Amino acid sequence: MRKFTTRLLTVVAVGSVAFTACNKENDPTATEITSADVQMVNNDVVVDAEFENAEAFALQNMSSSNNNFRVTEGGPKVEDWVIQAGSISFVLNFEGVMIEESEFAGKIAVVASFESLQEAVAGKLSLVTDFQDYTVDGVVLNGTRTRTFTAVEGEGSVYDVTLEDGSITFADGSTASRSAAWTLTAGTLLDSETPRTLVGTAEGVNKAGVSYKTTVDSETPVASTLACDIAEKMFWLPTSGQKSIEADGKTLTVDFGEGTCDKLAVVSLVVGDSTITKEISLDRWSK
């Protein structure tokens, strides 16, 4: 068994599974899924999950009305709380926070805008989270993520989500960049069963200095659930859907399954008339 690791995500090759990949053409010299490909998948998947997890912190802490207060025991401290007609702003300070054996640092500045508090509770709001050296186990995230309500869908809501000036600094000092434009569909804040789905694109330069583009089509939206987050400590890692990652002449397809909280995915690469596949186990921690 061969094991590849990064500071953010551990991936273990456990076999291969029959899988039909997308038909995008690859560089004819690309004949295998390399360790660099696996690392690229690692970073792409977990970085989205980390930004999603941080936004969940922001939503959970909107219920606070005090400065220097922790809404959840051991969680971030709420600072600079200001409430006005149509908005709430505050800063989450993660200095010294330890959650599930993971060490946090840095801050997230949050601004929520809405027409009424009742609508805000129902999810009809705009949420801006500004990452200020937000750190998880030595990996530093910066950038501004904006989530804007656009419509009601069933018992949930639809949002436009953008990430601007996203950057990741890894524990070894290497860096990556990321910008994104997603359509997010989600239930209410406390809805543990309704999947949160993402459709759209992200792009940037990975830690190897290679430009990449990630695409999630509406036919196969990437989904995660609060139930898996709670039960299996998934930290918003996907449980279903697919994404494609184009970089350096290759198009890798990543399939997250059918909704089971198992932290498994299948990476595939089309080579001529054949498809190479590798099943991987996703784990946020690299302890």
Whole-angstrom distance, CA of residue 126 vs CA of residue 236: 21
Q: What is the pLDDT of residues 71-106, one digit of tens each?
A: 567 789 999 989 899 999 999 999 999 987 889 999
Hey, which residues does 164 pair with through a beta bridge?
Answer: 144
Mean pLDDT, the chain, rounded, equals 83
**Residue holding tokens 């809805």?**
191
At 270, which amino acid appears? V
Q: What distance in Å separates the CA atoms of residue 75 and residue 145, rounded to the nearest whole number? A: 21
Does residue 27 register a pLDDT over 60?
no
Q: Quick check: is 71 in a domain?
A: no
Residue 224 pLDDT exceeds 60: yes
What pLDDT, on the 0 to 100 scale, is given for residue 11? 35
Residue 208 lies in a domain: yes
Which H/E stretch holds residue 52? helix 35-60
pLDDT in tens, 164-175: 999 999 989 999
Least confident stretch, 28-37, 148-157, 159-168, 254-263: 28-37
Would 67 be classed as within a structural domain? no
Q: What is the pLDDT of residue 29?
A: 57
Query: Could you read off the pLDDT of 45-58 as tens digits, one per residue?
Result: 999 999 988 888 88
Q: Does residue 263 form part of some domain?
A: yes
Q: Is residue 69 part of a domain?
A: no
**β strands within 32-101, DSSP E:** 77-84, 87-93, 98-99
Q: Would 15 be classed as within a structural domain?
A: yes
| Of 136, 233, 152, nearest in space to 188 by CA | 152
- C-alpha neighbours within 13 Å on the C-beta side of residue 231: 12
Q: How many domains does the chain have?
A: 1
Domain that holds residue 113: 3-61+76-283
Strand extents, DSSP E, the chain: 3-5, 10-13, 77-84, 87-93, 98-99, 102-113, 126-136, 139-153, 156-169, 175-186, 196-205, 211-216, 222-224, 240-247, 250-258, 264-271, 274-283
DSSP, collapsed to helix, strand or coil, labels residue 50 as helix
Residue 227: band (very low, low, confident or very high) from pLDDT cuts 50, 70, 90: confident
Residues 206/36, Cβ–Cβ less than 8 Å: no
Instruction: Confirm whether 128 is domain-assigned.
Output: yes
Q: What is the pLDDT of residue 278?
A: 94
Q: In whole angstroms, what separates CA 71 from the centre of its chain? A: 23
Q: Are 137 and 102 in contact (CB under 8 A)?
A: yes
Question: Does residue 131 form part of some domain?
Answer: yes
Q: Is the pLDDT of residue 19 over 70?
A: no
Structure tokens given for 46: 């977990």
